[in-house]
Chain A
């Protein structure tokens, strides 16, 4: 609770005194007095909320609080009307007090900058499609921090709109709806700038993390699983990064759309199953990077539609239905140094032309040889099989998968390509996988 500016100011003064040649004892005395003064600003008593304390409700504590105050909330269940935070206060829960929305209303609405909320359990906001009930809603604020809270059975979890420089860290969110239409997002950001979403765990919401019109923000170390729709839903959010996240068992995986300069690295995309499930769905993405991610057992690991100049580097594609589905409207993408291991189909495309580059990848399906022992296969690898081309146009043909007839067709097409894109090939396939 030290005021940083105060301390800086004070240190400057005390050095001034020192330089003026005061005795050591006096300097020490001045140091102590100065310290007390500089901290004094924050020495107003913290406000205590609890059944045995001055304030019985958080709202009453808030109404007598001043900017910069700290409110400690002791354990208990607090069912209040929506708590409106319009002062720059720190609200800290001790032994995780429960704030309930009583299945009717929003729990907390933050309208001031520099607010910190820590250590609560938020539950039961109830559904409301007009107000989009959220456990915590932050509107047009800066420098707020939401940390170490739990959220259970809320419509929306943390809802930020027009916010900037806020931090959402170490929260756990869980919801139990079974229908997409009756479920809200875990961490919802709309029109935000320079945000940090870090180390949160989100489960069972509609979209785990939702980004729309967000700029220059980071999503780091979150785990988003078993959400009804997307683990991460990301639109119109230029220059954002997301890394070290874990997305698993989400209804439709992760969708990143209509964005430039996204950096996606070191994430794990796992077990996204279903007819419309994608490990990573990319639509209209340009100038972005997909770096060192793991794609494991997804129906489709990455789907490229209308993507330009995206670099896919050093990723692992393990046992997916289709590793890469590349639509004809994607151009100038580069796929290099990836491992493609045990996928039912490595690359599918719907076009006979391809303007993308595949180079130096490892393909477990590659059956070529390496006579000069330089670790690079001597004949190019064509990842698009005739059969994958057929099923792209005609799904029912999937029933012929792994039939001897199809194998014969694939071999014939591989020797004399006539239907599959001739240019879509890896001319330097790696013989051993990248570690």
Chain B
């Protein structure tokens, strides 16, 4: 444990000096600041922020994570010559990246919200949800990126796979769902769709959000089925379990690969 913390501390220290992290923080700061200053309706601001969180965070996390692991190969090899368990090193590297990324998202968004935000207590649930979604997207996509980078030695292939994975979860998966909905439109698909949506972390977070915001548009049978699942304690617990699963499972597989890898 002591070693784990040491590695995390070193990593955070290292990454904090990176310009990219500063840009990342600044990006969220400017987006939030701009949205709040130009819009009167704060719930719409949070909605836009959630959209940003669901597109930008996965993209940045997955690319940053892949590049980070490739760039640190020399360092990893060096550390591995020390009496340190590979498992601990992998976790240290992972947390050492996730914590600063998550931190810069939270700081970048929270500061403008506190300075300029109106009636925050009313929307506290939405804001908490925004942060939960952002944190989960960070942890999930860094964990996937580590898996990809450990699996492939070829940097170009690894980076390509990362971008493809992001594209798959953000765009292609929804396209396939729409295709499926269209082909099977004569069948009651609602329950099947709930099943499919939990297998995409981006969709899962998005659906939890639209059920909070666009309830009016979602009324009707479809909305009722989704509400019945996602707005009950059971549904929320299941959704969060899946989000945790999306973090833990790639991390575990990656760790196993990492432990057996011949550097």
Interface residue ranges, A against B (CB under 8 Å):
273-275, 277, 297-299, 319-322, 342, 344-345, 390, 393-406, 408
Cα of A342 to Cα of B43 in the assembled complex, Å: 10
What would be 6 A-B contacts, judged by CB atoms less than 8 Å apart? A275-B221, A297-B216, A395-B222, A401-B217, A402-B214, A406-B174
B224 contacts which chain A residues (CB < 8 A)?
275
Q: Are B182 and A273 in contact (CB under 8 A)?
A: no
Evaluate contact between A396 and B216: CB separation under 8 angstroms. no
B197 engages A399 (CB within 8 Å): yes
User: With the chains together, A12 CA to B220 CA distance in Å?
Assistant: 69
Given contacts A396-B181, A396-B193, A399-B197, contact A320 B226 (CB under 8 A): no
Taking a contact as CB atoms under 8 Å apart, the answer to whether A275 and B41 are in contact is no
Tell whether, in the assembled complex, residue B206 and residue A403 are in contact, meaning their CB atoms are under 8 Å apart: yes
CB of B219 within 8 Å of the partner chain: yes
Q: Is A394 a contact partner of B181 (Cβ separation < 8 A)? A: yes
Bound complex: CA of A394 vs CA of B180, how far in Å?
A: 11
With A403-B203, A404-B171 in contact, is A299–B177 under 8 Å at CB?
no
Pick the 5 closest A-B CB pairs, nearest first: A321-B216, A321-B217, A344-B217, A405-B174, A275-B220
B16 part of interface (Cβ distance < 8 Å): no
CB pair B171 A405 closer than 8 Å = yes
Given the known interface contacts A396-B190, A401-B214, A408-B171, the answer about A390 and B219 at a Cβ–Cβ threshold of 8 Å is no
Q: Contact check, A396 vs B41: say whether CB atoms are below 8 A apart.
A: no
* CB-based contact B216/A273 at 8 Å: yes
- For the complex, is B22 an interface residue (Cβ under 8 Å from A)? no
Inter-chain contacts of B172 with A (CB < 8 A): 405
Closest to A319 in B: B216
CB pair B214–A344 under 8 Å, yes or no, is yes
Contact pick for B222, options A298, A320, A398, A406, CB 8 Å: A398
Q: List A contacts of B226 (CB < 8 A).
A: 399
Q: Which residues of B contact A403 (CB under 8 A)?
A: 174, 203, 206
Tell whether A400 pairs with B221 under 8 Å between CB atoms, given A342-B44, A344-B214: no
Q: Which residue of A lies closest to B55 (CB)?
A: A404
Q: How many residues of B contact A (CB 8 A)?
A: 37
Q: Are B51 and A402 in contact (CB under 8 A)?
A: yes
| Contact A398 B177, CB 8 Å, known A275-B223, A403-B203, A405-B171 | no
In the complex the two chains form, what is the Cα distance from A297 to B41 in whole Å? 14
Q: From residue B172, how far is it (CB to closest CB) to chain A in Å?
A: 8
CA gap between A408 and B216 in the complex, in Å: 23
Query: How near does chain A come to B232, taking the closest CB pair, in angstroms?
Result: 17
- B51 CB contacts on chain A under 8 angstroms: 402
A395 cross-chain contacts in B, Cβ below 8 A: 220-222
Q: Within the assembled complex, what's the spacing in Å between the Cα atoms of A344 and B217?
A: 6
Is B81 among interface residues, defined by CB-CB distance under 8 A?
no
Q: In the complex, A278 Cα to B44 Cα: how many Å?
A: 23
Q: Which residue of B lies closest to A297 (CB)?
A: B216
- In this complex, the member of B175, B178, B214 whose beta carbon has the largest number of chain A beta carbons within 10 angstroms is B178
Q: Which residues in B have their C-beta under 8 angstroms from that of A277?
A: 219
Q: Is B207 an interface residue (CB 8 A)?
A: yes
**6 additional A-B residue pairs with CB within 8 Å, beyond A275-B224, A396-B193:** A398-B223, A399-B197, A399-B226, A403-B203, A405-B175, A405-B178
B216 touches A400 (CB 8 A): no
CB B55 to nearest CB in A, in angstroms, measures: 6
* Chain B nearest CB, measured from A272 CB (Å): 9
Chain A residues whose C-beta falls within 8 Å of the C-beta of B219 in the assembled complex = 273-275, 277, 299, 321
A402 touches B206 (CB 8 A): yes
Find residues 120-168 in chain B having any chain A CB closer than 8 Å to their own CB.
Answer: none
Check A398/B218 contact, CB under 8 A, given A342-B44, A404-B174.
Answer: yes
Q: Are B193 and A321 in contact (CB under 8 A)?
A: no
How far is the CB of B225 from the nearest CB of chain A, in Å? 9
Query: Which residues of A have CB within 8 Å of B206?
Result: 402-403
By the criterion CB–CB under 8 Å, are A321 and B174 in contact? no
Are B203 and A394 closer than 8 Å at their CB atoms?
A: no
Task: Decide if B107 is an interface residue (CB 8 Å cutoff).
Answer: no
In the bound assembly, the distance between CA atoms of A299 and B47 in angstroms comes to: 19
Residues in B whose Cβ lies below 8 Å from that of A345: 217
Min C-beta distance of A104 to chain B, whole Å: 39
Q: Is B11 an interface residue (CB 8 A)?
A: no
* B170 interfacial contact with A, CB 8 Å: yes
Most buried by B among A321, A345, A402, A406: A402
Contacts of B38-80 to chain A: CB distance below 8 A? 41, 44, 47, 51, 54-55
A26–B257 Cα distance when bound, in Å, is 122
B244 lies within 8 A of chain A by Cβ: no
Contact of B216 among A299, A397, A405 (CB under 8 A): A299
Contacts of A399 in B (CB 8 A): 177, 193, 197, 203, 207, 222, 226
The closest CB in chain A to the CB of B184 belongs to A396
Give the docked Cα–Cα distance between A171 and B66 (Å). Answer: 71
Query: In the docked arrangement, what's the CA distance between A321 and B209, Å?
Result: 15
Q: Which residues from A are CB-within-8-Å of B197?
A: 399
User: Which residues from A are CB-within-8-Å of B170?
Assistant: 404-405
Contact A344 B216 (CB under 8 A): yes
